[in-house]
Amino acid sequence: MSDLNDLQYRALQVANHYDDYNRGKGRKTWDLNDYADGLVGDVGDLMKLIMAVRGRRDIAGATAKVEHELNDVMFSLLILYKLFRLNPDQSFAKAMDELEARVVAMKAALKEQS
């Protein structure tokens, strides 16, 4: 099983291929803004598929396409972690620790109210 750092390394390899391709086409390579824009677009595409899975839109094979869009979102996120010089494993673990502490405290407060 890969950790987020391994997945990020793989995403960076693919991003480097895109950089080479864009340079070959005489285009600029993507920067932080481009990856952020791409993330927003991918999240929008994902939401359209989720709406289709829920019966709110007509998209053939929507359920099968969700995996692709989730991976596009993850790709953009992993590249953004790198551009912000964040360690995805450490950052995510810290965020989950904070969320867990918050929800445990909320549950304890709810129990005290009962």
**Helical pair 32-53 and 62-83, crossing angle rounded to 10 deg:** 160
Residue 17, in any domain of the structure: yes
Total of domains in the chain: 1
Is residue 109 in some structural domain? no
Full domain range(s) for residue 8: 4-86
End-to-end CA distance of the chain: 42
In a domain, 97, yes or no: no
Q: Is-contact 4 88, C-beta < 8 A?
A: yes
**3-state secondary structure at position 86:** coil
Please report whether residue 29 resides in a domain. yes
User: Model pTM?
Assistant: 0.89
Domain membership of residue 94 (yes or no) is: no
Q: Tens digits of per-residue pLDDT, 30-54?
A: 999 999 999 999 999 999 999 999 9
Is residue 42 domain-resident? Answer: yes
Residue 42 is part of a domain; what is its CATH number? Answer: 1.10.287
pLDDT for position 114 = 85
